[in-house]
Amino acid sequence: MPLWQIYHPEGTFADTESKRAFSADITNLYTSYVGLPAFYAIVQFIPMPQDTMWVGASNKTEKPFIRIVINHVAVVVTPGPEEDAAYKKTCELVDGVIAPHVQAKGYDWEYHISETERRLWKVNGLIPPPWKSETEREWARENRALPYEGDH
pLDDT the model gives residue 10: 94
Q: How far is 104 from 87, CA to CA, in rounded Å?
A: 24
Q: Give the residues across from 7 on adjacent strands.
A: 46, 67
Question: For position 26, what pLDDT does the model report?
Answer: 98
Mean per-residue pLDDT for 42-58? 92
- What per-residue confidence (pLDDT) applies to 129? 95
Per-residue pLDDT band at 17 (split at 50, 70, 90): very high
Q: So where are the chain's domains?
A: 2-121
Mean pLDDT of 20-44: 97
Amino acid (one-letter) located at 30 = Y
**pLDDT at 152 > cutoff 60:** no
Q: What pLDDT digit, counting tens, does each position of 51-89 carry?
A: 898 888 988 778 999 999 999 999 998 888 999 999 999
- 2-121 is a CATH 1.20.950.20 domain: no
- What are the tens digits of pLDDT across the range 122-144? 999 999 999 999 999 999 999 99
Position with higher pLDDT, 147 vs 149: 147
Query: pLDDT at position 123, please?
Result: 96
pLDDT of 66 reads 97
Give the relative orientation of helices 16-28 and 83-98 as an angle to the nearest 10 degrees: 160
Instruction: Please write the tens of the pLDDT for every residue from 95-119.
Output: 999 999 999 999 999 999 999 999 9
Q: How far apart are CA 131 and CA 13, in angstroms?
A: 32
Query: Rounded to 5 degrees, what angle do the CA atoms 8, 14, 95 make?
Result: 50
